[in-house]
Amino acid sequence: MIDPMMLERIQRAVRLISAARHIVAFTGAGISTPSGIPDFRSESNGLWKRYDPMRVASRSAFFNSPTVFFDWFRPLFVTSWQSHPNVAHQHLAILEENRYLKSVITQNIDGLHQKAGSKQVFELHGTALTFNCSSCRQSVRGENVFDQFSKGYPIPYCPNCANILKPNMVLFEEGLPQDTWEAAQVEAQKADLMLVIGSSLEVFPANTIPQIALRNGCKLVINNLSSTSLDSMADLCIPMNTVEFFPLLMQELSS
């Protein structure tokens, strides 16, 4: 049975959603871990507790040590490729379909929002599911790379020129995709309600998006298991697992 205090917070979230005109979701790793996607920064089992990101996930690592890079990237890609959206992703897509939600701004690279049916998604850190050739720049779909990995190739190669394929994700030593970053800032400025879902708000500059929204008078609801740097500025904090929060939210929203 849900705690009465938590239920009251969810009901407050429903009232904020019902009153808003431009809702934007800002999502992080916590929305995708229930789908089996590893997170990067958690204290207990984050990927960066096991790997040095500059050694395995930097631009230098990709170009200078592609075998090391793909030994790290390959299982992450396969997991992301085979994973399925959970109820949190699905309910965000429903909120968009029902015209509550205008867009999703995500730090995740797993493509699960699109798999769930979300249409307006801004991927601040790119995606692990599509590739460009590092030489001829040809775009290559994830199916091609998954097929190469399935056949035992340790490194994916361009079908056009046979050079190494680079995933369209933001690596260490790289900046965010400029068009996406600018569009996300515009969305944050338009928002009158931002839902922060599964993000600890630690990663710069992505974590400035909710701050931009707040500076423009936006209300803020944070659904994250751990505390964040913006909890004191939020209108509402709901420390629940995202896959527990969303069914309760949708139930209250439809009642």
Query: Could you give the CA distance from residue 172 to residue 158 in angstroms, rounded to a whole number?
Result: 23
Query: Could you give the CA distance from residue 66 to residue 155 in angstroms, rounded to a whole number?
Result: 8
Instruction: Check if the beta carbon of residue 104 is closer than 8 Å to that of residue 121.
Output: yes
| 46 burial level (CB within 10 Å; 0-12, 13-18, 19+) | middle
Query: Could you give the CA distance from residue 93 to residue 26 in angstroms, rounded to a whole number?
Result: 13
91 is catalytic: no
Q: Which amino acid is at 166?
A: K
Query: Could you give the CA distance from residue 49 to residue 84 in angstroms, rounded to a whole number?
Result: 25
Q: Which amino acid is at 245?
A: F
Q: Sheet holding 23-27: strands in order across?
A: 121-123, 101-106, 23-27, 193-197, 219-223, 236-237
Locate 232 and state its tokens. 């004191």
Q: Which of 89, 91, 113, 125 is flagged as catalytic?
A: 125
Locate 145 and state its tokens. 């790379």
Query: Could you give the CA distance from residue 97 to residue 99 in angstroms, rounded to a whole number?
Result: 5
Hey, which residues are catalytic here?
Answer: 125
